Amino acid sequence: MNESLINRLSGLAFAAFGAALLLWIIPAHTETASYGWLKPDTLPKICAWALAGLGLVQAIVAGGKALPDRYEFGIVALTAAVSGLTIWAMGKVGFLIAGPAFAAVLITIIRERRIVWIMAAVVGAPALTWVVVTLLLGRPLP
Amino acid sequence: MPEIAIISGGFADAFTWVNLLFVALGVAAGQMVGAIPGIGPIMAMAIAIPFTFVLDPLVAISFLVGINKGGLFGGAIPAILINTPGTPDAAATTLDGHPLAASGKPVKATRMALFASVTGDTVSDIVLITLAAPLAGLALKMGPVEILALMIFAFSIISGLIGDSLIKGLIAAVAGLLLATVGLDPEHGTPRFYFGYFELYDGASLVAVAIGMLAVAEIFRRIAAARRAGPRPTIPPGQGGAAQRVSWADYWSCRFAMARGAAIGTVLGAIPGIGSTAAAYMSYAVTK
């Protein structure tokens, strides 16, 4: 996949997102109002039209840099998927289990071999987060 | 114009050893808190308020102002070193601060941020002391139309200057605007895009958005570039201390940029509803 094709696809993705906003998301997630000049869905609709239009322009012009490397794109996609899964898992099993597990997966993805850094990421960072947020600030973690 | 006797009286009250000690404590605490992305000086001040109940009011205010000022600079530290702003105000610092750190001068970048922060802050303090009344008059004349015009101006400049594609910049600006519509509609008070999560009634938190857009993007970028020798903010071995020092010539060469930033920050900071983050981006764009 070359740079131009990626730019065109990303433009089409934004155009599709704009269309989805106009057709489904905005009608379903904004309330209607019979009065006032600036209705609840006015600004979101302007943004949606702009996204759809600019996305189409991007698909036609296809300018700017892109990430053409398949390996790097795959790694980023994998990390994004793992991050999403972790957020879901935090709601199910809590931060103290999901946090270190996520750190361990990330450390594996970046192929870290130094034991001190592995321990710092898997144990140290989640522990520090827990101490600062839960103990010091008194705020709950998931 | 303010009376000199009042100003000198204020200096006499402020420059006591106890006040200066608590200012130093506040700045140190604020820098540490500001350097942790997601916490910020406002939360640090909220935590510190119970400690001020036992202090003299002047000392307490000095302490809290110290936390705020220290926290605002502290936000620039992770912005420069790890491309993750500690506070939303430091988001614009990532644009040039992190590349300078990645080029092997992290200490110099951090020091320059400190000097620029102190300079801008001192200028705005002097303006506040001397020109607060006329500036307040100007701020009161700014209505919704003027603020909207300023925001559109800021969006246009940012879209055009950041990145290598104008269309992508505009898409990013519109996506940000769309994100800002999450939460209660200010006109009718009805919720938008909350998807059943009542936490979204207040809108998307600026700190969460800044961390998500900048920190997570930086993590992705670094993971993707892990197999290559990607830019990392390290001090090259053998590099002398002089390369990390900010000389008077370095500082003086930035005088116009700092003056522009101080002027834009002071004027926009006096206008309600714009905020220091937009002012920082606008200052960056004008200087660029």
**CB-CB contact of B234 with B98 (8 Å):** no
pLDDT per position as a tens digit, A79-115: 889 988 998 998 889 888 998 998 888 888 877 778 8
Taking CA–CA distances from B195, the nearest residue in chain A reads A29
Average pLDDT over residues A121-131: 86
**CB-CB contact of A117 with A108 (8 Å):** no
Average pLDDT over residues A38-49: 92
Tell me the one-letter amino acid at A99.
Answer: G
* DSSP per-residue letters across B207-249: HHHHIIIIIIHHHHHHHHTTTTT-----PPTT--GGGGS--HH
| Rg of chain A, C-alpha, whole Å | 21
**CB-CB contact of B102 with B233 (8 Å):** yes
The verdict on A57 touching B (C-beta cutoff 8 Å) is: yes
Q: Which of residues 78-137 of A touch B (CB under 8 A)?
A: 79-80, 83, 106, 109-111, 132, 137
The verdict on A30 touching B (C-beta cutoff 8 Å) is: yes
Cα atoms in the Cβ-side hemisphere of radius 13 Å centred on B123:
17
Looking at every residue in chain B, the average pLDDT score rounds to 81
pLDDT per position as a tens digit, B118-143: 898 888 888 888 877 777 777 777 77
- Going A109 to A114 to A117 to A123, the CA torsion angle's sign is positive
pTM more than 0.90: no
Task: Give residue A85's pLDDT.
Answer: 92
Instruction: Report the share of chain B in percent with pLDDT over 90.
Output: 6
Six token digits for residue B279 = 């002012």
Task: Give residue B265's pLDDT.
Answer: 84
CA A25 to chain centroid: 18
**CB-CB contact of B200 with B189 (8 Å):** no
- Contact list in A for residue B45 (CB cut-off 8 A) is none
Beta bridge partners of B260: none
Coil, helix or strand for B183? strand
ipTM of the complex model? 0.79
Task: Give residue A67's pLDDT.
Answer: 67
Task: Give residue B161's pLDDT.
Answer: 64
**Strand extents, DSSP E, chain B:** 183-184, 191-192
Task: Give residue B173's pLDDT.
Answer: 86
| DSSP state at residue B169 | H
What pLDDT band is residue A59 in, cutting at 50, 70 and 90?
A: very high
Least confident piece of the model among B65-79, B149-163, B226-240: B226-240
Task: Give residue B35's pLDDT.
Answer: 83
- Partner residue opposite B164 with nearest CB, options A30, A47, A64: A64
Residue among B165, B120, B96, B64 nearest B269 (CA) = B120
C-alpha torsion A34→A35→A38→A43, nearest 10:
-10
Taking CA–CA distances from A82, the nearest residue in chain B reads B220
Task: Give residue B120's pLDDT.
Answer: 87
Task: Give residue B240's pLDDT.
Answer: 64
What pLDDT band is residue A11 in, cutting at 50, 70 and 90?
A: very high
Q: Taking 90 as the threshold, does the pLDDT of residue B232 lie above it?
A: no
- Contact list in B for residue A40 (CB cut-off 8 A) is 185, 187-188, 190, 192
Beta bridge partners of B191: B184
